[in-house]
Amino acid sequence: MTSKTAGPTPPDDLTPQQPTSPVVNKVTTEDIAASLKAGVSDFVARPVMSGFFGLFYAVFGILFVWALVWLGKIWMIIPAVVAFPLVAPFAAAGLYEMSRRMQTGERFGWSEILTVMANQRKREMGWMAFVTLFVFWVWMYQIRLWLAIILQDASFSDFDGFLNAVFFTPEGWTFLAIGTFAGALLSAALFSLTVVAMPMLLERDIDFVTAMLTSIRVVTENPVVMLAWAAIISVTILFSLVPAFLGLIFTLPILGHTTWHLYQRAVQPAEG
């Protein structure tokens, strides 16, 4: 006798669907140029609010250097200034949200932008901040290590003495060569991890590991173009530091807005 089972027939495939990874596009120099144009346009559209984030970043840099002088950590000033661009992507979270809202035509004010930024601590952005600060710490630690090994007999009692030891002695040149190489590796690694991960975490409900892996794919699939973008960021920010960090009031917002638009071109929109 054949038994009959009541109820609907279960589907043949009960395997849960896996979330698809974000699709990465090919990026060209024209995309960078168009993103820069859009970034400047966003800055011009809301200069006071955009400039506020650049001003905050600049003031933080000034206070940071002043604290190093006050603590007598003269040797940390140059590596700290050089590493300063490493934390720029995280500092630009508010700029990404501004560009997102301008792109979608949403109205916004200070409260909307600051609320979105405050809410990021409850999401995956906090982990990205940890990654960024960890790389910054590794940079500072390895600089201190090479100073102790290579310039152990040098005097760092004042800033002039430090500059003389670093730039006008054979040991200083060795330190600069090794430090530059190590710094380039760390900067390349952090850039690859974060170049689109930060704006992606702001826009999408994904985990920070997926965001970092997508960011790495953007760089590995567009190495020349993304290297050019990394060079533009580094050179622009470093030159902005020269006039007592004040150039960041203009350049950081433009770079932040531009990063949002480049992310939009580098990664296809999420489905749904």
Q: What pLDDT shows up at residue 232?
A: 92
Structure tokens at 137: 């710490």
What's the longest Cα–Cα distance across the chain?
99
Beta bridge mates, 267: 24
Query: Does pLDDT of 217 surpass 70?
Result: yes
Q: What distance in Å separates the CA atoms of residue 209 and residue 252, rounded to the nearest whole number? A: 26
Burial of 203 (0-12, 13-18, 19+ CB in 10 A): middle
Mean pLDDT of 96-112: 91
Residues 202/117, Cβ–Cβ less than 8 Å: no
Backbone angles phi, psi at 26, to 5 degrees: -80, 135
CB atoms within 10 A of CB 181: 10
In this prediction, residue 272 has a pLDDT band, given cuts at 50, 70 and 90, of: low
CB atoms within 10 A of CB 228: 14
- pLDDT exceeding 70 applies to what percent of the chain? 85
For the chain, the structural domain boundaries read 29-266
In this prediction, residue 227 has a pLDDT band, given cuts at 50, 70 and 90, of: very high
Quote the pTM value. 0.82
Q: pLDDT per residue over 118-165, tens digit each?
A: 777 667 777 777 787 788 888 888 888 888 888 776 666 666 777 787
Residues 87/132, Cβ–Cβ less than 8 Å: yes
Higher-pLDDT residue of 266 and 73 is 266
Give the E-state strand segments of the chain in sequence order.
none
